[in-house]
Amino acid sequence: MMSSYSVTKPFVSVYVLAMVALQFPHSVLSLNHTNAYLNHICIKGEGTVKGNSYEEAVKGVIDHMSTYLGYGFVNGAGSDGPTKIYAKIQCRPDASESICRSCITTALPEIRRKCPNNKGRIIWYDNCLLDISSIYTLGKIDYRYIFYMYNSKDVSSNKMAFNKNTKALLYELKEKATSKKEIPYRRDYLYAAGEESLGTTKVYAMVQCTKDLSAKNCSVCLDWIMAKLPKCCNGKQGGRVLSPSCNFRYELYPFVKT
């Protein structure tokens, strides 16, 4: 089900491993499509480049990858002289192909502006992740970065019970997301969303890994970020932990349509 693809352009060779799109049974859309910018990182350790040819090469790789967004995940590679370019695009599985594409169209110039000259750069939005690196990381968990976001308001109910309930929901979703071994080339591979009630409080959550990970590594990645739950989100009305390889989010309102 995987097709490989390559083209040669003046500045760049693009090798895109595209995942073939299957029709998703029910079209899933986010309730509010505010595609918020979340964070970015300029990877100092990967060094810098000068001049426009690197940027043109990156754009060539991403533009090419953007024609394969039907699955919500695509990885590609290219080079600018001796500098390798490895890129990953992961969209939220409930974002349509056009929402995914428009997210990447926003992300690419934005990360260029934020990290001029950096070879390695990653940017997170609500609907997509764009990861550009000179190091090959496909299939590997990227432990280098992690960040939290939370709603500053506390829940009005029993905090301890709320934390316990939220944690249980996230672990249940992790199991769900990583048990889909048999269908690796679906949009919802390594992804799960769900909800749970505790008294009158309803918690909505989702977990997600980039689709290059194995189910096992997705599980390892989610364990790593979920262990940060008490640190980030103790009794908070909403919270997220994000890394380049996996993320979770919970809110007291529905943010994904199932």
Binding site residues, ligand NAG, CB under 6 A: 31-32, 34, 139-141, 214, 216-217, 253
The minimum distance between CB 138 and ligand NAG, in angstroms, equals 9
Residues 60, 11: contact at Cβ < 8 Å? Answer: yes
DSSP H helical ranges for 48-197: 52-65, 97-114, 159-178
The smaller minimum CB distance to ligand NAG, of residues 102 and 214, is found at 214
- Cβ at position 31, least distance to ligand NAG in Å: 5
Show Cβ contacts of residue 63 under 8 Å, excluding neighbours closer than 6 positions: none
User: Residue 100 or 221: which CB sits closer to ligand NAG?
Assistant: 221
The CA distance from 71 to 113, in Å, is 27
Of 112 and 240, the one with the shorter C-beta distance to ligand NAG is 240
CA 33 to chain centre: 16
Q: How far is the CB of 230 from ligand NAG (least distance, A)?
A: 24
The span from the CA of 11 to the CA of 82, in Å, is 12
Nearest to 146 by CA among 124, 164, 162, 115: 124
* Total H helices, total E strands in the chain: 5, 12
Closest approach, Cβ 141 to ligand NAG, in A, equals 4
The nearer residue to ligand NAG, 49 or 122, going by C-beta atoms, is: 122
Residue with tokens 């110039």: 109
Closest alpha carbon to 110 in 168, 49, 172, 42: 42
CB of 148 vs ligand NAG, minimal distance in Å: 17
Q: Which residue has the tokens 């370019």?
A: 85
Q: Is 30 or 96 the residue whose CB approaches ligand NAG more closely?
A: 30
Nearer to ligand NAG (CB atom), residue 21 or residue 254: 254
> Least distance from C-beta 63 to ligand NAG, angstroms?
28
